[in-house]
Amino acid sequence: MTERFPHPLTTLRALGFLLALLLGLASGPRALALDAAAFDGELREAMAVWGVPGLAVSVVEQGALVFARGYGTTAVSGGRPVTPDTLFANASTTKAMIAAAALILVDEGRLSLDDLVQRHLPDFRLGDPQMAAELTVRDLLTHRSGLPSTDFLVFNQGMSLDLQLPYLGNTLPAAPPRSAFIYQNTGYQLVARVLERVSGEPWPVLLQTRLWGPLGMDRTFAKRGAIPDALPRARPHDEVRGVLREIDHSFLPEQPNAAGSVWSTVNDMARWAQCLLAGGLNQAGERVLSEAAVATLFEPQVMLSEDEYYPTASLTKPAWRSYALGWYQQDFQGRKIDYHTGSLSGFVALLGLDRSQGKAIMVMANREGAELRHGALWRVMDGHAEEDRSAWFAAVRDLYQARSMKRVAAWEVLTSRRPYAPPTVPLRAYAGRYSSDTAGPLNLVLADDGSRLTLETRTRRYGLEPWHGDTFLVTFKDWNRGTFARFDLGSDGEVRGLSAFEATFLRQPGP
């Protein structure tokens, strides 16, 4: 994701033009009322095609919940039937809630989106001190901070934000602030920390008291470990080496993460969507968000190029694409659609809104890469009559099947072996402790019989298979494909470090 912006004023003019365009859009085809029976059949067929164990979907029309159903099972082994009250991982659909909480504090005069991050987090550091000093809350909410992805610290090292901060202090920018759109999850964790400093409450408490509680979202939780045992929840799945099975969760159960650790149900998320469609009111007519906050939440902030957007743009063919505060946006049949997906190991989610017509859809599934969510979104948002409507589920399936085949082919090319060369030193010479100043520690452990190496992060264990000389294939029990680790040896034959996971880890003294 490398789009560059020439100058702040040019960006503002472009955004101003976009807003004018939105205001001037023709209404286009008016979305038809949902045919629940037909939609139900399409969902069942798509679920079978994609091999999804469990699925839940809700649809709102003209502000009213018109469809809420569950399909399949929470787990392929020992599962329970999915209902609209089954809990799933929200993943990145969490982000819009964090943005809404920020806007509540903005309304109260306690925060500005253009506040410098260091005003509220004076201990915040990056590898570039000037960059750290320039970043604003808005930059973090819109993925325009210039920071590269730091997901390895969360998903591979299991680090809380407090543990990540020293490594962020060594992280150099991938681009200057406000010059590129780089999707950055840690930015939302930093925003949540700002909210905690300003409000004096942990962000899960802030969301519960100011958003979820007033909306009646009584089955929404900030972390998996907060879910009562009695409540039904889905478990993560993927097809690994040809077998659909349960896989590990992305987040530790007791670790809240403002970028995506929330769990909810399609019924609860329908209440959240109804609030947004009603301009900030709950079902009792009480104001939860101000009209100004809702308007700001959906105000385009960053224009996106095609390669920074969802692949389904090749099907929907938008004239423009943008990112707001936790929302992707595009035009579709003359209307503006706001939506965001969420993806974690074994889970997908999607929340989409057509605010011009009071329509919303929430999709949650417990199968990694189940892109039927996009088919459901555009099927519901399509305003054409049935005979003129695209076959969205089939089109999305074909699109992602072709992409998957390209990835498989690319991996096969990448892993085509040259004449095999054994490791240049005995396996025991690679074993030991390693550390990266941006990605944390690794341990390489030699099996007792000396036959194999295991790479250990703080929370995961990976296999290491000799591939060619000092290059090893890294494998994981929940992966279909792997990655590579390359060791660096000095002229004396001693192992100095290794490169893996887009980071360099240096050998540390001691066993």
Q: Which two tokens stand for residue 462?
A: 């990976």
Q: What is the pTM of this model?
A: 0.92
What's domain 8-407's superfamily in CATH? DD-peptidase/beta-lactamase superfamily (3.40.710.10)
Q: What per-residue confidence (pLDDT) applies to 31?
A: 56
**Do 289 and 275 contact (CB within 8 A), yes or no?**
yes
Q: What CATH architecture applies to the domain 427-507?
A: Beta Barrel (2.40)
Between the alpha carbon of residue 80 and those of residues 221, 264, 266, 316, the distances in Å are 20, 17, 17, 36
- Could you tell me how far CA 35 lies from the centroid of its own chain? 30
**Is 83 exposed, middle or buried (CB count within 10 Å of its CB: 0-12, 13-18, 19+)?**
middle
Cα 64 to Cα 274: distance, rounded to the nearest angstrom: 7
Instruction: Show contacts of 406-412: CB within 8 Å, 24+ apart.
Output: 407/481, 411/481
Q: What is the identity of the amino acid at 102?
A: A
DSSP label of 450:
S
Please report the sign of the dihedral spanned by the C-alpha atoms of residue 268, residue 272, residue 278, residue 282.
positive
pLDDT for 30: 58
Q: Where in the chain is the domain with CATH 2.40.128.50?
A: 427-507
Instruction: Provide CATH 3.40.710.10 ranges for the chain.
Output: 8-407
**Residue-by-residue pLDDT tens, the chain, 511 positions:** 333 333 333 343 344 334 433 433 434 455 578 999 999 999 999 999 999 999 999 999 999 999 999 999 999 999 999 999 999 999 999 999 999 999 999 999 999 999 999 999 999 999 999 999 999 999 999 999 999 999 999 999 999 999 999 999 999 999 999 999 999 999 999 999 999 999 999 999 999 999 999 999 999 999 999 999 999 999 999 999 999 999 999 999 999 999 999 999 999 999 999 999 999 999 999 999 999 999 999 999 999 999 999 999 999 999 999 999 999 999 999 999 999 999 999 999 999 999 999 999 999 999 999 999 999 999 999 999 988 899 999 999 999 999 999 999 998 888 886 778 899 999 999 999 999 999 999 999 999 999 999 999 999 999 999 999 999 999 999 999 999 999 999 999 999 999 999 999 999 997 6
From the list 340, 352, 358, 348, the residue with the least C-alpha distance to 377 is 352
d(CA 389, CA 195): 44
